[in-house]
Structure 1
Amino acid sequence: MEKLKELRNTTKQIPLPEFEGVRFPAVIPIRKKGVEKALQDVREIQSRESDIMICTYPKSGTHWVNEVTNMLIRNKTELDTVTKVSTMLEVIPDLSVLDALPSPRLLNTHCSFKYLPKKHIENRCKIIHIIRNPKDVCISFYYHAKSDPVLDFTGSWDDFFEMWMSDKCPYGSWYNYEKEMEQAEKDFPGMIFTCYFEEMKKDDTGEIQRLANFLEIPCTEKTIANIAETTSFNNMQQNKLDITKVVSGKGFIYRKGEIGDWKNHFTVAQNERFDVQYTERFKGSSYKSFFEQIKET
């Protein structure tokens, strides 16, 4: 933690590095090696057949589903002292630390499907993917970007909205990310488990049971209920170790975790522009029918 504090205090904000038209956060591996080499190193990770990868666009519920999955793997219903960032592939300075982790390893990344470890795909290792209403993703990402120095953002909500609309957010376009993941589901049947943030909020025990089935981990109803209770947003916000809070004094990982917070920020004009873009960019998507139901939620 002391090293993290020192890094935060000494690391200067820099313009986000770009690769293949996508901006990436200025995390240590990318600063030291450049985006292309950092991504290449991620792709060359020696995956194990038991590896489980959580793949999400930022602010879609990654910490939540990571903690749920971690509890299922450990067969424990207490919050772990290990945080998601410790196994986030693109931010680990020395990827050899993964070699010491016991199997099954729970890894995670916000990088798009084409940048995942090649052996993970070749071995058809399990992937967990959570998707969230992009309007709420956009709002949550805005608040995160304001606080995270590696994202180099100091603008207003209006500025961030324009970044989103022009595909200039860190990790690139939400639409491109999700459509690539959707295609991967078709190309590799049975490898990817997709869950929806909104469904997790409405029926946490049901979705956790679905995830346990995908992972082939037997669980009692009591265990599932305990996991749901322990990983509730309020409990995670109050009791889960938030490295950003330890490092900076004010955490920004667990803000609201709500459905529909976008209504408190979008202007009428912004909402109309967003809907037009969404309709155009997600035409023909199998995910679209779900979002049509919650468009006004």
Structure 2
Amino acid sequence: MEKSRNTSDDFIEKAIAAANSMHRDELLFSYKGILYPTTICSPETFKALESFEARSDDVILAAYPKSGTNWLSQILTDLIAISQKKTPGSERSMNPEEPEPIPNLEIGDAKKFEPLSKVPSPRFLASHLRPENLPKSIFKNNAKILLVIRNPKDVATSFYHFCNGLALLPSYETWDEFFTDFMTKKMAWGCYLEYLSEWNKYADKENIMTITYEEVKENPALSVKNIAIFFGIPLTEEQLQLVVERSSFQSMKKNSDKTHGSFGNVLFRKGGVSDWKNLFTEDQSEKMDKAFEEHIAGTKLGKKLKYDLYCKA
């Protein structure tokens, strides 16, 4: 899987170079009412995505930015390697001369879908999109989706540092300025609480497993085991421990130069829980609490987030 990550690396580095010459106001564009990064997404890709044909055995990861995408990507790609009788970390490209296309569905140009259609099953696919903006074939063909969610205060905190570390997104001089944009739906990939609300409509479907960032952090081995069971991938105890070790924050940060190049320093910052307490004022905390109550509290996903445990001082 290293090769596909390097492919992503090359694309991201070119996108960063392009973003460096752009004005802040040009870094995001709106598509169907939601903002996306100009240098890595495009209307043409979104249009092509509509006709993308998902397979019933695709392994799909759905997560809002900074909710654990890279962490769970590591786990899922290792599980796929094991299901294919391969050693996690070894390359699985069909043709070494043709690097695998970027697995994130909405990132890349519209030409990516033809080579993506040639990737052998099971394919790993990821997306930050809301369910209504994903290809309809995913739900029609009952492809299994792992939905990863994280407490909103830590999502906001991690997103803030991410924006200031990555030229692809508008940076912020102050946390207060960022918080205002986060709460007024001016973020790339849209409002997180609305994202949760939309995915909650699908939470009872048998082909969707929801897991929280916090529960994976609390018990990585049990989480990996449950994910493997959901996708029908048998694991030996030795394989389970290997996946857990390779997906630890320390291991991923240590290997980030190989897996993500210079981009790794931005992706792997702390990997913890409750960092929000270092930034949120009491007033901001109360505003988030109120918004959470209005959007998602009391729903299946809202209860799963254990908001009172992770988001109350």
Question: In structure 2, what is the equivalent of residue 164 of structure 1?
Answer: 182
Give CA deviations for 1:40-67 in whole Å, capped at 9, x if unaligned. 2112112222211111111000111111
Contact kept? 1:56, 1:109, Cα under 8 Å: yes
Equivalent residues in 2 for 1:1-297 (5 A)? 5-11=13-19, 12-13=21-22, 14-30=26-42, 34=43, 37-75=44-82, 78-79=88-89, 86-93=102-109, 94=111, 95-186=113-204, 189-240=205-256, 241-243=258-260, 245=262, 251-289=265-303, 290-296=306-312
Can you give the 5+ residue segments of structure 2 that lack an aligned partner in the other structure? 1-8, 93-98
**TM-score calculated relative to the size of structure 2:** 0.84
Instruction: Report deviation, 1:4.
Output: 5.2
Q: What's the CA shift for 1:78?
A: 3.9
- Conserved in 1, the CA contact under 8 Å of 2:182 and 2:191? yes
Question: Which sections of structure 1, spanning at least 5 residues, go unmatched?
Answer: none
128-137 or 177-186, larger mean C-alpha shift: 177-186
Residues 27, 91 of structure 1: 8 Å contact kept: no
Q: Which range moved further: 254-263 or 217-226?
A: 217-226
Q: How many equivalent pairs are there?
A: 287
CA 1:126 to 1:3, structure 2 compared with 1: closer, same or farther past 3 Å?
closer
**Identity of matched residues, %:** 29
Cα deviation for residue 80 of structure 1 reads 5.6
- Offset of residue 129 of structure 1: 0.7
Cα deviation digits, residues 110-132 of structure 1 (max 9, x gap): 11111112211110001111111
Question: For 2:284 and 2:101, how far apart are their aligned partners in 1?
Answer: 33
Note the C-alpha offset of 1:242.
4.6
CA RMSD of aligned residues (A): 2.3
TM-score (norm 1): 0.89
SS at match of 1:287: helix
SS at match of 2:243: helix
Distance in 2 between residues matched to 1:38 and 1:6, nearest whole Å: 17
Secondary structure, aligned partner of 1:229? helix
Offset of residue 9 of structure 1: 2.3
- Give the direction of change, closer, same or farther, for the CA distance of 1:256–1:77 in structure 2 (3 Å limit): farther
Partner Cα distance (2:188, 2:208) in 1: 24
Pick closer, same or farther for the CA change 1:60–1:7 going to 2, 3 Å. Answer: closer
CA separation in 2, counterparts of 1:85 and 1:74? Answer: 17
CA, structure 1 residues 4+135, in 2 after alignment: closer, same or farther (shift >3 Å)?
Answer: closer
